[in-house]
Structure 1
Amino acid sequence: MAPKPNPAFRWGILLNSIYIVAEVGAGLAVGSLALVADALHNLADVLGLAIAWFAAWLACKAPTLRRTYGYKGSSIMAALTNAVFLLVAMGAIIVESIGRFSHPEPVQGGIVMLVATVGILVNAGTAVLFHKGQGHDLNIRGAFLHMVADAGVSLGVVIAGGVTMATHWEWLDPAVSILVALVVLVGTWGLLRDAVNLAMAAVPKAIDTEAVRACINDFPSVMSCHDLHIWALSTTDVALTVHVMRATDEANDQFLEKLGERLRGNFDIAHVTIQVEYGDYQPLRFKDNPY
């Protein structure tokens, strides 16, 4: 049976879409442009969730003659897109907040804080749905960070709004917004770095190349290995190719099966391709590729 996309995407999009409609309605009712603007920001986040969901769905499609690995790479592209979305969104918040220091705007009142509190519940609840999968899937991690970012912004609105209404410190709202945005940027930078690395066919950070090499060299009948390549097919699937020199050609099929099982089991590498060699072949060594 073919795998299916994480159902958290469906629930996340549904909950956030309902919240956007409610936020726009509340903003128009009380004349708050801030709420309407925040609803547009949340709409961009729903778009980010939709992109991640579509990529997860594509990754589950069967391979074709032209795309022999299927569409697994779409999840890497989605993670990269979501990272860029987050960077732009947080950058816009910082720019807007800096502008408000010189032109402070009064907090709109209790209704704004109430709507922001609902936003905390919706976004934090959606983040919980993605929490389990975000540790091993960069695409889900991007969606998770989107929801955490929105929950953080909404929390900042509530805290700053309450304190500002009591103290009339109008500078507090933009200051809290900048602080929240900077915290989100730190997490987003890691997401962007990991997504770019996967897009550039780098070894996934969860895999130790030297440990893989040692595992292969320590396998019975293996004399040495070379041309070891490890890269991500998607945000969850890893591929490996390697040339192995054996001391014997005995039970070669069994050797390939057992070594493949060990690599898959020890390092969670889904696609293993091993080329066996014999004799006195000496591989070329390149300065920028010691493997």
Structure 2
Amino acid sequence: MGGTHTTDAPLKALLGALIITAVVFLAELIAGVVSGSLALLSDAMHMLSDATGLIIALLAMLIGRRKATDRSTFGHRRVEVVAALFNAVVVTLVVVWILIQAIGRLGSGTEIDTTLMISVAVIGLLANAASALILMGQRHASLNMRGAFLHVITDMLGSVAVIVAGVVIALTGWTAADTLASLAIVALVLPRSLKLLTDSLSVLLNRVPDGIDLQEVERELLEIPHVEDIHDLHVWSTEGVNNLATCHLVIDEGHDSRCGVLDEAQERLRTFGIEHSTIQLEHRDHASHEVVCD
């Protein structure tokens, strides 16, 4: 029972956040068109990209929950990484669109209905705060969940920017504040979308996860008694959360207690957050049978 609850929690969190995001997107889109606020339309487009990303994340999570098969021996959780990559690309494209629109509007003096602009932005802020609370507890469950949580936090900051711009325009009549708010949203969103993009690509390219120094891992393994050499050390993650490792340890000829070396190696790898490892123990005379990976 407890395991089922834990597994379903990220799915329920994503679904709840998606419903809230979709409702706020529609409200901001309509209000942005009616009020003439580019900042509100910019925030609406960001909400649309988030909603799209959440839908893809939901589908990816459903696929990722399928068990490993003879054809997919690592399971299907990497589908979530592909979804996170797609989400990052969509958000980045939306940000570029917002930037182009904001630059084009500089100095135009477009009339803006600040009452509607501020009202909808406040609703958006409250809705994003609710989504953030829903996703907060699950943000470390996967790269997908982390991306969804970061985007909701960014949405909150975007809503604040729209509210501030609306208040400035209402008090001073300086409509350029709306364009500046749009640029502020771009500044908030772009670094996060690019970070999610690079993180997703890093996982898909089987790069060593952040926070793990491969040379330090190698030094730790070489310090194990009776280990003379190490080769084919690989550390990666299939979905951006759990780390895996494989390696070949060359042990001295006179040592027969391989279980002791294996236990010590796995224990040392766990100190780096590597819970799953595949280790081959061999003597030097086995080198002629090896094809060592570069």
- Tell me the distance in 1 between the aligned counterparts of 2:190 and 2:129: 18
**Cα–Cα, structure 1 residues 120 and 53, in superposed 2: closer, same or farther, change >3 Å?**
same
2:251 aligns with one of 246, 271, 284? 246
Q: Deviations over 1:118-151 (max 9, x none)?
A: 1112113323443455467432221122212222
Determine if the alignment matches structure 1 residue 210 to structure 2 residue 215.
yes
Determine if the alignment matches structure 1 residue 255 to structure 2 residue 281.
no
Cα contact 2:98–2:182 (8 A) shared by 1: yes
Aligned-pair CA distance for 1:18: 3.2
TM-score under structure 2 length normalisation: 0.85
Match of 1:226 in 2: 231
* 1:142 partner amino acid: G
* 2:81 partner amino acid: I
Q: Deviations over 1:207-234 (max 9, x none)?
A: 1111211221112321121111111111
Q: Which runs of 5 or more structure 2 residues have no equivalent in the other structure?
A: none
Determine if the alignment matches structure 1 residue 118 to structure 2 residue 123.
yes
- Tell me the distance in 2 between the aligned counterparts of 1:152 and 1:203: 32
Q: Among the aligned pairs, what percent are the same residue?
A: 31
TM-score under structure 1 length normalisation: 0.86
Aligned-pair CA distance for 1:70: 0.8
SS in 1 for 2:233: strand
- Tell me the distance in 1 between the aligned counterparts of 2:25 and 2:195: 28
Q: Deviations over 1:61-114 (max 9, x none)?
A: 210010000112112212211211221121111111111114232221212211
Q: Which moved more, 1:14-23 or 1:43-52?
A: 14-23
Q: Which has the higher helix share?
A: 2
Match of 1:61 in 2: 66
- Tell me the distance in 2 between the aligned counterparts of 1:217 and 1:173: 60
- Tell me the distance in 2 between the aligned counterparts of 1:101 and 1:75: 39
Aligned-pair CA distance for 1:273: 0.7
Q: How many residues align?
A: 284
Match of 1:4 in 2: 7
Q: Which runs of 5 or more structure 1 residues have no equivalent in the other structure?
A: none
1:173 aligns with one of 175, 178, 183? 178
Q: How do residues 25-40 of structure 1 correspond to structure 2 at under 5 angstroms?
A: 31-32=34-35, 34=37, 39=44
- Tell me the distance in 1 between the aligned counterparts of 2:183 and 2:119: 21
Superposed CA RMSD: 2.7
- Tell me the distance in 2 between the aligned counterparts of 1:25 and 1:94: 20
